[in-house]
């Protein structure tokens, strides 16, 4: 794809993200973009299967999860893997669940995912969309520097027998960051009406189940159905919820695989993740990818 097409595709997504505070990018466009950013056909194929290697989750029985920390460095114009740190979301992040405020230790994302050129292209894409954009500030984050911290979650939700998979058991919530991006990798045996994402005004009550929300406070709905369908959300300006994963054939398990890129400024004093916010590179699984920026002329902010 010519460079101008890539630039105009991303500029269009960026301007709708700036205007609406969320954006949904369908599969066909997303595949075209990541290919233009270096994703190979082999790696696109591999990405559809990478979630098969997930094993467990520290707090949710119907989920299999790996996480990794990555740092966007706009001065060096690189994104790099950062060292392992525990993970925590709290009620201060608008995240109300039985494990709010609990230190969670996930299995680590490995080279099979982080060295995948399609995954690397998704990082570059995300940066091109949000770089330089003004958002509502979260308390206790440091907006004075250049750096961004991105926790990548590779998640498989499973519905199997009596175990009902909830892509967002927490109901209405935020992810405790500035920019959330979710990219769909695939599913098996999932019904048509499963796993719909709803976006809510900030006045919606945290923890409300998706089916109990106030329609007047629901801004939009979106559903990830096709490989690489991607949703971007300004996380401190819109809350979200996700409906249940139902099995089409109840005799067989249903699965839904997703990547979530949770990107925020580094923490400042008094934040609950102050002890878990190291900028040091990962000593055993390094990864560095050059970033690209949208031309100033193609940006609105
Ligand atoms: Fe979320």
Share of the chain above pLDDT 90, in %: 90
Residue at 65 is within a domain: yes
Distance (Å) from CA 2 to ligand 1 centroid: 34
Residue at 301 is within a domain: no
Closest CA to 120 of 72, 157, 85: 72
Residue 242: give the domain boundaries: 3-295
Q: What is the dihedral of CA 270, 275, 281, 282, to 10 degrees?
A: -150
User: What CA–CA distance (Å, rounded) separates 105 from 103?
Assistant: 7
Confidence of residue 162 (pLDDT cuts 50, 70, 90): confident
Q: What is the mean pLDDT of residues 156-179?
A: 94
pTM: 0.97
Distance (Å) from CA 15 to ligand 1 centroid: 23
Confidence of residue 295 (pLDDT cuts 50, 70, 90): confident
Distance (Å) from CA 22 to ligand 1 centroid: 13
pLDDT tens-digit profile of 115-139?
A: 999 999 999 999 999 999 999 999 9
Distance (Å) from CA 3 to ligand 1 centroid: 33
Query: Could you tell me the CA-to-CA distances from 123 to 128, 233, 264 in Å, in that order?
Result: 9, 15, 14
Residue at 133 is within a domain: yes
Residue at 300 is within a domain: no
Q: What is the dihedral of CA 191, 193, 195, 196, to 10 degrees?
A: 160
Count of domains for the chain: 1
**pLDDT greater at residue 79 or residue 274:** 79
SS3 289: strand
Distance (Å) from CA 168 to ligand 1 centroid: 7
pLDDT tens-digit profile of 206-239?
A: 999 989 999 999 999 999 999 999 999 999 999 9
Instruction: Provide the CATH number for the domain around residue 187.
Output: 2.60.120.620
Q: What angle do CA 261, 262, 263 make, to 5 degrees?
A: 110
């Amino acid at each position: 794809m010519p460079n101008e097409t890539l630039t105009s595709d991303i500029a269009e997504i960026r301007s709708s993200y700036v205007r609406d505070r969320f954006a949904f990018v369908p599969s066909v466009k997303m595949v075209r973009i990541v290919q233009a950013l270096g994703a190979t056909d082999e790696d696109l194929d591999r990405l559809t299967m990478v979630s098969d290697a997930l094993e467990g989750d520290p707090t949710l029985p119907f989920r299999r999860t790996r996480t990794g920390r990555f740092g966007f460095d706009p001065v060096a114009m690189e994104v790099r893997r950062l060292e392992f740190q525990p993970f925590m979301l709290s009620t201060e992040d608008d995240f109300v669940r039985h494990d709010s405020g609990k230190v969670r230790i996930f299995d680590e994302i490995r080279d099979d995912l982080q060295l995948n050129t399609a995954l690397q292209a998704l990082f570059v894409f995300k940066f091109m969309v949000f770089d330089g954009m003004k958002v509502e500030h979260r308390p206790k984050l440091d907006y004075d520097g250049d750096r961004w911290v991105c926790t990548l979650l590779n998640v498989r939700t499973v519905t199997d027998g009596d175990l009902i998979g909830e892509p967002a058991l927490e109901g209405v919530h935020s992810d405790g960051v500035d920019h959330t991006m979710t990219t769909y990798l695939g599913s098996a045996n999932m019904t048509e009406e499963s796993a719909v994402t709803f976006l809510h005004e900030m006045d919606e009550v945290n923890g409300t189940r998706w089916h109990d929300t106030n329609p007047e406070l629901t801004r939009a709905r979106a559903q990830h159905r096709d490989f690489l369908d991607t949703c971007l959300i300004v996380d401190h300006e819109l809350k979200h919820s996700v409906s249940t994963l139902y099995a089409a054939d109840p005799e067989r398990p249903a699965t839904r695989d997703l990547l979530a890129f949770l990107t925020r400024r580094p923490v400042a004093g008094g934040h609950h993740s102050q002890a878990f916010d190291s900028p040091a590179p990962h000593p055993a699984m390094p990864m560095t990818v050059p970033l690209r920026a949208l031309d100033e002329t193609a940006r609105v902010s």
